[in-house]
Amino acid sequence: MNYSVIALDLDGTLLNSKKEISKRNKETIMKAAKAGAKIVLASGRPVPGVKKIAHALHLEDVGGYILAYNGGMIIDCKTGEVLRRETVPTDYYHTIVQIAHKFGVTPLTYDAEGIITTKADHEYVQLEARINNIPVKEVFHLNEVAAQDPPVKFLMVGEHKVLRQAEAELNEKLKGEVEVFFSEPFFLEITPRGIEKASSLELLLNRIGVERKHLMACGDGFNDIPMMRYAGLAVAMENAQNETKEWADYIAPLNDEDGVAVAIEKFVLT
pLDDT digits (tens, 9 = 90+) for 76-92: 999 999 999 999 999 99
pLDDT classification of 19: cutoffs 50, 70, 90:
very high
CATH number, domain of 212, equals 3.40.50.1000
CATH number, domain of 151, equals 3.30.1240.10
DSSP letter at 89 equals -
Residue 184 scores a pLDDT above 90: no
CB-CB contact of 253 with 25 (8 Å): no
Q: 213 and 162 in one domain?
A: no
Q: Would residue 9 show up in a list of annotated catalytic residues for this protein? A: yes
Residue 195 scores a pLDDT above 90: no
- What Rg do the C-alpha atoms of the chain give, in angstroms? 18
Measured between alpha carbons, how far is 245 from 144 in angstroms, rounded to an integer?
Answer: 40
Q: Show the domain range for 133.
A: 90-192
Q: 72 and 133 in one domain?
A: no
Share of the chain above pLDDT 90, in %: 89
DSSP letter at 186 equals T
Q: What is the mean pLDDT of residues 44-53?
A: 91
**Boundary-marking domain end, from 192, 210, 237:** 192
pLDDT of residue 34: 93
Residue 126 scores a pLDDT above 90: yes
Residue 3 scores a pLDDT above 80: yes
Residue 241 scores a pLDDT above 70: yes
pLDDT of residue 112: 83
Q: 216 and 166 in one domain?
A: no
pLDDT digits (tens, 9 = 90+) for 203-226: 999 999 999 999 999 999 988 999
